[in-house]
Amino acid sequence: MSSERAVAINAVLKASQLCQQVFRHLIDGETITKSDRTPVTVADLGAQAVVNEILHNSFPDDVIIGEEDSKILRGEDGKQLREKVLSLANTVLDTPLDDEKLLEAIDRGSHPGGTQGRMWTLDPIDGTEGFIRGDQFAVCLALIIDGHVQLGVMGCPNFPVDHKTPEGEKGCLFVAVKGQGSFQRKFTSAEETQIRMTDISSPSDASFCESVVASHSSHEDSAKIAALLGVTKPAIRMDSQCKYCSVARGDADIYLRLTRGDYLENIWDHASGSLLIQEAGGIVSDIYSKPLDFSLGRKLDNNKGVIVAHPKIHSQVIDAVQKVSLNK
């Protein structure tokens, strides 16, 4: 995985750089409103174009499962937006794209997924609301081989290098390869540090990490589960797969994503984060304690919710989750 690891790191760093440029020039200074998501669209599509192009140049036979497509950029109606995306993508790519190559790069992410072969999955901006606020978001890339995640890389431009000094240096890259451990490095240095989850034996000593906005995950249920487990520490709330990063390096101990109704998770929202946790010593499952199944296409069709915890307390967390979630 050394070649794949290096290419993925390069792609994620360049996409993160693009996203930072978009924020500085198109969002900072309150230039974005709720009705104008153009900067988000530019960053999403630009980041996907950059990552997909870099992957294709190195591994032309690999398929990609990405969140975005190029429909909004096509034709005369999409010309203005297309020019913005193209300009930004070309600021970070070594070989510039033209219009057609840009659209082609973005649409390489249209693969349906499946059980066999090599496939990359990408979320160019995970945590849109965090991105807009200047809080946490992540560029998330994973390599899946025969349905199993083998490599995960996450770029977190606003993530503190040390959670104890949240106003200090920001910009972290997280990398995990199956069987090789989980690592963190700064955006500004290639030096990597191995990370591990906190070795915790009692849920009452734990802290939760959960989403800022309860769009698909219930804060009310999380509070009930915390009470059952005796958790008294305040929850850490942040957007995106940065939650996986926070738990993997020991900032928090439990991550709950308790989905509502028949909502199905996208594989790009959990592939890289789940491997990071596993390689940092944790367990990732759904609410029924089943492993996440990335072999069924673009969705986690066989799973409901996501539970992350240390092996010593995972079963207790599952019991509490089921008491709350299954007894409604």
Per cent of the chain over pLDDT 70 is: 94
Determine the Cα–Cα distance for residues 160 and 16; give it in Å rounded to an integer: 15
Res. 219: pLDDT tops 80: no
**Does the annotation count 38 as an active-site position?**
no
**pLDDT, position 52:** 98
For the chain, report the end-to-end CA distance as a whole number of angstroms.
45
Residue among 149, 142, 66, 74 at smallest CA distance from 111: 66
Instruction: Name the strand (E) or helix (H) holding 151.
Output: strand 148-160
pLDDT tens track for 80-99? 999 999 999 999 999 999 99
**Does the annotation count 269 as an active-site position?**
no
Res. 51: pLDDT tops 70: yes
The domain defined by 2-195 folds into Fructose-1,6-Bisphosphatase; Chain A, domain 1 (3.30.540)
pTM (2 d.p.)? 0.94
Where on the phi/psi map is residue 15: left (φ > 0), alpha (ψ -120 to 50), or beta? alpha
Q: Which of 44, 251, 253, 269 is catalytic?
A: 44
Res. 328: pLDDT tops 90: no
**Spatial contact of 308 and 277, defined as CB atoms under 8 Å apart:** yes
* Domain boundaries 203-323, corresponding CATH code: 3.40.190.80
27 confidence band (pLDDT: 50, 70, 90): low
In the chain, CATH 3.40.190.80 covers: 203-323
CB atoms within 10 A of CB 48: 29
**pLDDT, position 74:** 95
Please state the length of the chain: 328
Sign of the Cα torsion 259, 66, 38, 19 reads: positive
Q: Which of 38, 91, 128, 198 is catalytic?
A: 128
**pLDDT, position 135:** 92
In the chain, CATH 3.30.540.10 covers: 2-195
Determine the Cα–Cα distance for residues 68 and 12; give it in Å rounded to an integer: 16
